[in-house]
Amino acid sequence: MQTPLDNDLTKRYREKFGGAILDAVEDRKQAYLVIDSAQLAEIASYSRDIEKFDLLEDYTAVDWPRREKRFDLVAILYSFSNNTRLRLKIPLSADQSAASLVEIWPTVNWLEREIFDMFGITFSGHPDLKRILLPEEWQGHPLRKDYDILQQDTAWVRENLGIESGQ
């Protein structure tokens, strides 16, 4: 289902950023570029200003624990003028921190907080990086693959809810 991609858009990105574009793939008619996290801010800026991807539709992460670079940050961009979408995938290792895109797309404020909450990925330059869906004192990052489906922060539950967690 995955085929290598080499359309005009990819050529422009490769021309501008060279080796930072690690891969370009088309899967089920949707294009995505795998990029180097070191150049994330520049590529994001270029995508918004030159390629006209003015809407960051979604920003999330996927955990591949057996890979060397464990996380895949996934940004889904949409351009109103061209009516096209582009996915950017940024591999990150467990202790690496990514540049915050909040200056480029302000919508990313809560989206990055959710990624931090669920995966533990930190974003440098984020104005207020704290948990958003889980309580602030919760330990653990649930969407990681080593966090079991039945696991809970039993200490937090005992302290704050006054019950013994059933898990």
Q: Which residues bind other proteins (CB under 8 A)?
A: 1-2, 27-28, 30, 54-58, 60, 62-63, 74, 76, 80, 83, 85, 87, 105-107, 109-111, 118, 131-135, 142-143, 147, 149
Closest CB 24 distance from other proteins, rounded Å: 15
Identify which of residues 20 and 118 has a Cβ nearer to other proteins in the complex: 118
Q: What is the spatial order of strands in the sheet that 30-35 belongs to?
A: 2-4, 21-27, 30-35, 84-92, 71-79, 55-63
Closest CB 28 distance from other proteins, rounded Å: 6
| Burial track 119-137 (b if 16+ CB lie within 10 A, e otherwise) | bbbbbeebeebeebebeee
Rounded to whole angstroms, the maximal C-alpha distance in the chain is 59
Q: Which two tokens stand for residue 148?
A: 């079991």
Identify which of residues 31 and 94 has a Cβ nearer to other proteins in the complex: 31
Identify which of residues 30 and 93 has a Cβ nearer to other proteins in the complex: 30
Q: Which two tokens stand for residue 54?
A: 């003015």
Closest CB 51 distance from other proteins, rounded Å: 15
Closest CB 65 distance from other proteins, rounded Å: 11
Nearest-angstrom CA–CA distance, 125 and 74: 18
